[in-house]
């Protein structure tokens, strides 16, 4: 008789990059015969993959560790917050192990110590594409780790180190496995997708019968051959992005760019030490739209950064009106422990931050609503995320899962998750579209 499989309860917090780390750890554990359980209670060990990006994220991570300690007591902590173990040890001296981000092997050996694997060599426990925490029809594809930029409000490079790009051949093999497993949409992620391959000087690697350079354009072109929806996240407005926009215009990858602009005023961008802060971004956006008129751009912004003046906010708002971005998120600046921006003079008072945030959101809402309304009357391909008896929920090529809007699709036949259907768009509201399957 085989010993029962040890059970692991897993909490995954933070961004898609942390989610990919969780998937890798779980894949290894499943390969070694561990079972996943949704309950801390009764699990042999609990793993908490933490986020340490903002102080509020750290508080959420500490709360998750506290719950796991109370309900189970055998807890391993990993992820971004694990890079600063003192904070965790101070509050929870009895956690079994603390490891930093991407330290998959250390997490797995801590699990071995807490609950040794019950190995069964006759069972193939892991599907070839690994274990995914996303729905079956889409998957995040992480192309690099770390970041070589030094934005003044960010501690990611401190936590995750400088940029390390995965060889293009490895990324493409993973993408192919995902496609074979039924994934229909790939979401390409990293901390700085446009910098992909800089660290290895675009070194070529073998893919099928040819060599492919570890470079943003070359990878995008090859991914575009797989017959999937390929969506690019965390791109910066560098000139070499232009050639990737041509792939979008040719329909090889989705006409979608996620660019975290964070601000528009040159002085704020400079204080933020943002990559590409000297680029003339409006000109760049106009150029991209002349290559690919259908391009959707999503972005995030920060208002209330130290030293931001009323003139900077006016600049930002008129930039926003002219840039006509499809989807936008906005945050009020929050200091992050250990970030150089904390030393900057002239912090913005909380009431001013709040007021600027409202002004920003109102301005953008008008832009978004207009852009969404322009889609009414068109027939667009929509990928179904959630089936429903009469109305399913899906997304157009212009919307990423979790962060952007959705399309509510009325249909006479039941639609399946992952199916791509043509939908006649009949109506729009502030964020979403409504239509009928054709
Ligand atoms: S690009 Fe800037 S904000 Fe993004 S991870 Fe790198 S340093 Fe942080």
Q: What is the pLDDT of residues 70-97, one digit of tens each?
A: 999 999 999 988 888 888 999 999 999 9
- In this prediction, residue 336 carries a pLDDT of 85
In the three-class reduction of DSSP (H, G, I as helix; E, B as strand; rest coil), residue 402 is classed as: coil
Query: How far apart are the two ends of the chain, measured CA to CA in Å?
Result: 55
d(CA 147, CA 14): 17
- In this prediction, residue 123 carries a pLDDT of 53
d(CA 80, CA 102): 9
In the three-class reduction of DSSP (H, G, I as helix; E, B as strand; rest coil), residue 354 is classed as: helix
- Distance from Cα 17 to the centre of ligand 1, integer Å: 13
- Distance from Cα 160 to the centre of ligand 1, integer Å: 11
196: its two tokens = 């992909």
- Distance from Cα 192 to the centre of ligand 1, integer Å: 7
- In this prediction, residue 122 carries a pLDDT of 52
Which of 18, 151, 193, 233 maximizes ligand 1 atoms within 8 Å of its Cβ, making it the mutation to test the pocket? 151
Other residues' Cβ atoms within 10 Å of the Cβ of residue 416: 11
pLDDT < 70 positions in the chain: 1-3, 119-127
CB environment 20-49: b (16+ within 10 A), e (fewer): bbbbbbbbbbbebbbeebeebeebbbbbbb
d(CA 237, CA 320): 15
- In this prediction, residue 9 carries a pLDDT of 95
Q: Is 87 exposed, middle or buried (0-12, 13-18, 19+ CB in 10 A)?
A: middle
CA neighbor of 263 nearest in space, from 196, 328, 327: 328
State phi, psi for 204 to the nearest 5 degrees.
-75, 155
- In this prediction, residue 119 carries a pLDDT of 57
- Distance from Cα 274 to the centre of ligand 1, integer Å: 8
- Dihedral sign for Cα atoms in the order 338, 343, 349, 355: negative
Residues 6+ apart with CB under 8 A from 164: 144, 145, 146, 199
* 67, 48 contact by CB (below 8 A): no
CA neighbor of 404 nearest in space, from 430, 386, 431: 431
- State whether the beta carbon of 275 lies less than 6 angstroms from ligand 1: yes
State phi, psi for 325 to the nearest 5 degrees.
-80, 145
Q: Which atom of ligand 1 is nearest to the CA of 160?
A: 5
Other residues' Cβ atoms within 10 Å of the Cβ of residue 157: 16
Which of 192, 274, 300, 341 maximizes ligand 1 atoms within 8 Å of its Cβ, making it the mutation to test the pocket? 192
Q: What is the 3-state secondary structure (H, E, C) of 71-120?
A: HCCCEEEEEHHHHCHHHHHHHCCCCCEECCCCCHHHHHHHHHHHCCCCCC
- In this prediction, residue 1 carries a pLDDT of 42
- Distance from Cα 150 to the centre of ligand 1, integer Å: 6
- In this prediction, residue 125 carries a pLDDT of 60
- State whether the beta carbon of 171 lies less than 6 angstroms from ligand 1: no
- In this prediction, residue 48 carries a pLDDT of 95
175: its two tokens = 């993408």
d(CA 49, CA 269): 31
């Amino acid at each position: 008789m085989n010993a029962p499989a040890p059970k692991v309860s897993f909490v995954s917090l933070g961004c898609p990059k942390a989610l990919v780390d969780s998937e890798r750890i779980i894949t290894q554990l499943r390969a070694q015969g561990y079972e996943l359980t949704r309950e801390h209670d009764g699990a042999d060990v609990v793993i908490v993959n933490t986020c340490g990006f903002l102080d509020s994220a750290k508080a959420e991570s500490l709360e998750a560790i506290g719950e796991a300690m109370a309900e189970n007591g055998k807890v391993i902590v990993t992820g971004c917050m694990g890079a600063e173990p003192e904070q965790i040890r101070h509050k929870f001296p009895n956690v079994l192990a603390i490891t930093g981000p991407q330290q998959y092997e250390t997490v797995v050996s801590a699990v071995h110590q807490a609950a040794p694997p019950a190995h069964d060599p006759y069972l193939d426990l892991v599907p070839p594409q690994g274990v995914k925490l996303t729905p079956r029809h889409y998957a995040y594809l992480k192309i690099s780790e770390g970041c070589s930029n030094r934005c003044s409000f960010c501690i990611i490079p401190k936590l995750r180190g400088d940029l390390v790009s995965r060889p293009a051949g490895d990324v493409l093999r993973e993408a192919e496995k995902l496609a074979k497993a039924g994934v229909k949409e790939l979401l390409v992620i990293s901390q700085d997708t446009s910098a992909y391959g800089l660290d290895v000087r675009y070194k070529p690697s073998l893919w099928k019968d040819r060599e492919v350079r570890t470079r943003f354009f070359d990878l995008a072109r090859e991914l575009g051959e797989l017959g999937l929806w390929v969506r690019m996240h965390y791109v910066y407005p560098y000139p070499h992005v232009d050639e990737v926009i041509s792939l979008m215009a040719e329909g090889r990858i989705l006409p979608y760019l996620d660019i975290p602009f964070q601000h528009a005023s040159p002085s704020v961008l400079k204080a933020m030490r943002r990559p590409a802060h000297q680029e003339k971004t409006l000109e760049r956006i106009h150029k991209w739209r002349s290559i690919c008129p259908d391009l959707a751009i999503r972005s995030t912004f920060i208002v209330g950064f130290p030293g931001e003046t009323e003139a900077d906010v006016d600049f930002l708002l008129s930039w926003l009106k002219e840039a006509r971005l499809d989807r936008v998120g906005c945050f009020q600046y929050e200091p992050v422990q250990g970030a150089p921006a904390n030393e900057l003079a002239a912090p913005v008072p909380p009431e001013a931050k709040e007021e600027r945030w409202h002004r920003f959101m109102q301005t953008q809402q008008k832009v978004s609503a207009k852009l969404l309304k322009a889609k009414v009357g068109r027939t667009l391909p929509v990928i179904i995320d959630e089936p429903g008896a009469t109305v399913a929920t899906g997304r157009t090529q212009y919307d990423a899962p979790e962060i952007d809007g959705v399309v509510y699709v009325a249909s006479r036949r039941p639609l399946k998750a992952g199916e791509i259907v043509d939908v006649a768009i009949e109506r729009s509201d502030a964020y979403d579209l409504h239509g009928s399957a054709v």
